[in-house]
Each structure stands twice: as C-alpha cells, then as structure tokens.
Copies of this chain bind each other. A is one copy, B any other.
Amino acid sequence: MSADQHRYSDAERAAIYRVIRERRDVRSFVNEPVDPGILARILAAAHAAPSVGLSQPWRFLRITSPALRSTIHSLVQQERLRTAEALGPRREEFLRLKVEGILECGELIVVALLSGGTREIFGRRTLPEMDLASTACAIENLWLAARAEGLGLGWVSLFDPDALARELSFPDDARPIAVLCLGALAHFDSAPRLALDHWRQPRPLAEMVYENTWPEGAR
C-alpha cells in the first residue's frame, strides 16, 4: 500500500491529532510578550497554507501601537453591543460571555484578505470566496502552531470591517477578516468555551456526514 510508505510515525501522528484536538478559541490571557522567534515560526506556519492558484492572499498586520490596540478594542466593543441587541432574548446572557482578550493578549494581529490580483489565479472564477478560504486555512495553521508552542489564540470577528480597514489605512481591495489575540494564558479549556459557558453545545460528526446526495430534511 503506497499510503503506508508515506505515513508518519505513530508518535508523529499522535502529536498532530493531539494539537488538532486541543486547539481552543482563547479569550483570557496573561499579559506577557510573545517571544519573537516563536512568533516568526507561527507566522511561517500560516504562510505554508494552501492558497487558490498559489495566490497567497493573506497579509498580517502586527499591532504594536498601544493607541491602535485601544482603537481596535473600541471597535470590537461597539460591535459587541450591536450584536447583543440583535440577539434579542439572549442579550443579557451574551453580554456576560467573555468574547475577546484584545487588551490583555501579548500580541495582536490583524489578518487581511487581499482580493483581486492577476487573472492568472485560477480556481475562483465561479467560487470567488476561495481567496477567503485560503486565508482561513492560513489562520488554522497559525492556530495549531500557537497551540503547540503553548500559546492561546482567539479569532475575534466582532467588528465593522470597513471601520477597521479605515483605521489601518487599507487599500480598497483589502478587507480585515480577523483580529487575532495571541499570547500566554493560565490554562487551556478542555472543551469549546461556548459549550463550557452553556451557550451552545456541539453536535456529533455522525450527523454531518452524508453519502452521495443530501438527505431529505437534514440540517
């Protein structure tokens, strides 16, 4: 079997499945700087992601200015309150959740999606969202690398992308898709935070694997 020939060792596969299983969305940090060598490894992991037509549409902005960090925090707080209103009956419960750690995390990174590019990028003529998919794969790589390095990462998407783009002087064809909070933390949760907080429980994989066609009424 040719798969055997290329298979990693049991110990290697265990490490890879461990990090996939133990990755968490983190919102609580201890205020410690991130080692520059570790940050470089984590960003290199992101940059090794697949991208549609080898387009590498991701850009990473390290936010080192305290004033900008504070501005980003304010933008997220504004959207958090708007989201609370939109949630209706669960408004109060939502406001009690901790949903970001922007002011405490060691490193704050804004991830941008740069669209367009040359027409030699194929694979997105009918699926223009493949640029975004590539950038999300890069963030997942970054997330796994961070977990292996003992660092927490939280992907915050509670912000008005146009307002954030203006604050960071983005060109017209770039869009922020993530505010990443990266840093040391006291402990990793054993399950997704929203499950521990009784906001929502995950569903099992078995309900999400179908054969050939979509089963009538499946959600």
Contact residues of A with B, CB < 8 Å?
1-8, 11-13, 15-21, 23, 25, 30, 32, 34-35, 38, 41, 43-45, 47-50, 52-54, 56, 58-65, 68, 79, 82-83, 86-88, 90, 94, 99, 112, 114, 119-120, 122-127, 129-130, 132-137, 139-141, 143-145, 147-151, 155-161, 168-171, 174, 177, 184-188, 192, 194-195, 199-203, 205, 208-214, 218-219
Specify which chain B residues have a CB less than 8 angstroms from the CB of A205 in the assembled complex: 43-44, 47
Specify which chain B residues have a CB less than 8 angstroms from the CB of A158 in the assembled complex: 122-123, 125-126
Specify which chain B residues have a CB less than 8 angstroms from the CB of A18 in the assembled complex: 8, 12
Question: Could you say which of B65, B123, B174, B218 contacts A157, with CB atoms under 8 Å apart?
Answer: B123
The distance from the CB of A4 to the nearest CB of chain B, in whole angstroms, is 6
A-B contact pairs, 21 of them (CB 8 A): A4-B150, A6-B188, A8-B19, A15-B15, A16-B16, A16-B144, A20-B45, A20-B145, A47-B208, A50-B155, A52-B157, A54-B195, A59-B208, A59-B214, A62-B212, A82-B125, A83-B122, A87-B119, A132-B133, A136-B137, A137-B140
